[in-house]
Amino acid sequence: MSKNIFDEQNYLLLKGFFNLKDVTRMSKRMHHLRNSGMVFIDEQCPKSYSTYSDPIHSEYQELYREKLEQAIGYELYPTYTYARIYSPKEILEKHKDRSSCEISITSTLDYNTFDDEPWDLYVEPNIKIKLYPGDVLVYRGCKIEHWREKFIGVFQTQIFMHYVNKNGKYHDRKYDGRPSLGASMWLRKDFDEEVCGNGALI
């Protein structure tokens, strides 16, 4: 049933997908990276702090892969993780993702907002989705546009886990062109990318 919904909509909300203890560990890890200066600023969200394929986050990506496969009915290869601490007034412009993000999940790890609610995510045509810690949105990032309006709050920490269909056209994007899941982004090989979205690295 979930597979049919995912195939029809190109997205699927899975409530309580992550164990909350794992959510706390992933959140603490991201804040540790931020406090240690082990983050960077990207062009897509220049007010915020990001990290690519942190080894701890990558372990959780692999840990939950089989559960995700069962939920959507596809065998998957992991490509990479991305995590971001969003800062006040940040905007995530409407976009699609590159091919290594054929099937992705995103989840809110923690947040501090003025209304005590997580920052809304939108997917086309104009569906508003609220993700509480533990919830994930599975989506086809190359097929559907997604975005966020201006962030009104102190911070929100978000994790992204990207995959490709093991039996699909992007199967060669396994590990995002790196020799292993936890390898540096500088070891990525270049792909002849199809034009999609704003062409951002992530």
The number of angstroms, rounded, from the C-alpha of 138 to the middle of its chain's C-alpha atoms is 9
Phi, psi angles (nearest 5°) of residue 7: -65, -35
Cα separation of 72 and 161, whole Å? 15
The domain ranges of the chain are 2-174
* 103 CB burial (10 A radius; 0-12, 13-18, 19+): buried
Query: DSSP letters along 82-119, please?
Result: EEEEE-TT--EEEE---GGGSEEEEEEEEEEETTSSPP
One pLDDT digit (tens) per residue for the chain, 202 residues: 577 899 999 999 999 999 999 999 999 999 999 999 999 999 999 999 999 999 999 999 999 999 999 999 999 999 999 999 999 999 999 999 999 999 999 999 999 999 999 999 999 999 999 999 999 999 999 999 999 999 999 999 999 999 999 999 999 999 999 999 988 888 887 765 543 333 344 4
Q: Could you tell me the fold of the domain covering 2-174? A: Jelly Rolls (2.60.120)
Rg for the chain (alpha carbons), in Å? 16
Closest by CA position to 83, among listed 62, 63, 105: 105
